[in-house]
């Protein structure tokens, strides 16, 4: 086995164009560079990610991000051992832009090509950041993902449960929209909730009455909408306090569901460590609740730094390194896949959200 390997990672599955260089060797695991170029301003007017706009922006920017990542890392293409690229799941036009860029680089340099599952990138990040050993349980919570995974190896994932409809980040964004708060909704709702009374509105805790680790956030979203409409019907509008109470009630419901389902996930998969990733993991109330659940279960709690919790290419380079070390290789037949469940035995996926295929 090669002592030191250096990989370029490319990510373009949603609304961030990203490239990174990661090195793994006797000196440790090192992110030499990580470039993330968001597209928020391009989609702002449309209230969600527009796939065609995303794809075009990825195609225009991905090679520039690669150049920037190589320059920032101080490495040339000839210093690399392989190129890893997100090959799915995600918005197909964006994934294609990344895969074509990686194929072009591989063809021009002769470097091995590795297609990486975007979700594996998220799920393996605690190994890059903290050297976490298998097995562990992972909760992916973002605008597009919501699932518990038992991670037993770099390509051994078991889905323990997940959302049967919306991802929590999607619900945070929707709540912000119906309350006239800015996007992305998560930070805005969290800030508004600070001054609110979580008990004023009786909001549901979906699926807590059902066994298992599946979750649902779509009905909760509708319940907040109804509560908002009732206040408007009664008072003719919403005060700042009404908004704060609705946000606090909504967030408390999400916290209660995630905490209880995490408790159950740790009960069915008795492991020593639990990690969380995804943009929603930035929420302090959610993070604190999950930390408490882990402490009570005597399980180590890990949350990678936020820049590595959200979409980035360092996680793709790292997942590529894990595959590369295990002998995995792809060739020019590598396909971009809109859907690609990590756990191939898990039930069929659940349709499309505004950020692409739900996983």
Q: Which residues bind ligand KG4 (CB under 6 A)?
A: 14, 142-144, 169, 172-173, 184-187, 190, 278-280, 282-283, 310-311, 355
Residues 3 and 296: beta-carbon distance below 8 Å:
no
Residue 305: burial class (beta carbons within 10 Å; 0-12, 13-18, 19+): exposed
Please report which helix (H) or strand (E) contains residue 159, including its range.
Answer: strand 156-162
Q: How far is the CB of 142 from ligand KG4 (least distance, A)?
A: 3
Residue 94: burial class (beta carbons within 10 Å; 0-12, 13-18, 19+): buried
Taking the C-alpha atoms of residue 341 and residue 328, their distance in angstroms, rounded to an integer, is 18
The separation between the first and the last C-alpha atoms of the chain, rounded to the nearest angstrom, is: 34
Choose between 248 and 357: whose C-beta lies nearer to Zn ion. 357
Instruction: Name the binder of 185 from Zn ion, ligand KG4, none, CB < 5-8 A by kind.
Output: ligand KG4
Q: Which residue's CB comes closest to Zn ion?
A: 311
Pairing of strands 146-153, 136-141: antiparallel
Q: How far is the CB of 142 from Zn ion (least distance, A)?
A: 5
15 scored as a contact of Zn ion (CB under 5 A): no
Q: How far is the CB of 143 from Zn ion (least distance, A)?
A: 8
Nearest to 143 by CA among 189, 101, 99: 189
Which range touches Zn ion (CB under 5 A), out of 42-50, 155-163, 189-197, 306-314?
Answer: 306-314
Choose between 218 and 328: whose C-beta lies nearer to ligand KG4. 218
Size of the chain in residues = 359
Q: Which residue's CB comes closest to ligand KG4?
A: 186
Instruction: Name the binder of 173 from ligand KG4, Zn ion, none, CB < 5-8 A by kind.
Output: ligand KG4
311 scored as a contact of Zn ion (CB under 5 A): yes
Residues 23 and 4: beta-carbon distance below 8 Å:
yes
Choose between 15 and 311: whose C-beta lies nearer to Zn ion. 311
Choose between 94 and 143: whose C-beta lies nearer to ligand KG4. 143
Give the footprint of Zn ion on this chain (CB under 5 A). 311
């Amino acid at each position: 086995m090669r002592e030191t390997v250096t990989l370029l990672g490319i990510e373009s599955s949603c609304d961030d164009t990203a490239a990174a260089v990661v090195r793994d060797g006797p000196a440790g695991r090192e992110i030499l560079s990580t470039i993330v170029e968001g597209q928020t301003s391009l989609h702002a007017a449309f209230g969600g990610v527009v796939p065609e706009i995303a794809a075009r922006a990825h195609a225009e920017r991905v090679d520039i991000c690669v150049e920037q990542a190589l320059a920032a890392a101080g490495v040339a293409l000839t210093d690399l051992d392989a190129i890893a690229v997100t090959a799915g799941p995600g918005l197909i036009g964006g994934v294609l832009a990344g895969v074509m860029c990686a194929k072009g680089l591989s063809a021009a340099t002769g470097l091995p090509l590795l297609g990486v599952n975007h979700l594996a990138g998220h799920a393996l990040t605690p190994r890059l950041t903290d050297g976490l050993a298998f097995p562990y349980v992972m909760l992916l919570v973002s605008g597009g993902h919501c699932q518990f995974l038992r991670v037993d190896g770099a390509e051994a994932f078991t889905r323990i449960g997940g959302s049967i409809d919306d991802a929590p980040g999607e619900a945070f964004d929707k709540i912000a929209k119906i309350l006239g708060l800015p996007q992305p909704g998560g930070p805005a709702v969290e800030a508004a909730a600070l001054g609110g009374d979580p008990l004023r509105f009786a909001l549901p805790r979906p699926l807590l009455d059902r066994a298992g680790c599946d979750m649902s956030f779509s009905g909760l979203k509708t319940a907040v909408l109804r509560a908002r409409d009732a206040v408007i019907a009664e008072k003719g509008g919403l005060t700042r306090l009404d908004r704060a109470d609705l946000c606090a009630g909504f967030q408390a419901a999400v916290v209660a569901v995630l905490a209880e389902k995490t408790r159950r996930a740790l009960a069915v998969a008795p492991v020593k460590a639990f990690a969380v990733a995804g943009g929603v993991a930035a929420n302090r109330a959610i993070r604190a609740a999950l930390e408490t659940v882990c402490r009570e279960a005597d399980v180590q709690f890990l949350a990678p730094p936020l820049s590595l919790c959200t979409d980035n290419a360092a996680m793709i380079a790292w997942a590529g390194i894990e595959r590369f070390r295990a002998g995995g290789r792809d060739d020019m037949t590598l396909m971009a896949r809109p859907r690609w469940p990590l756990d191939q035995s898990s039930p069929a996926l659940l349709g499309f959200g505004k950020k692409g295929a739900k996983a």
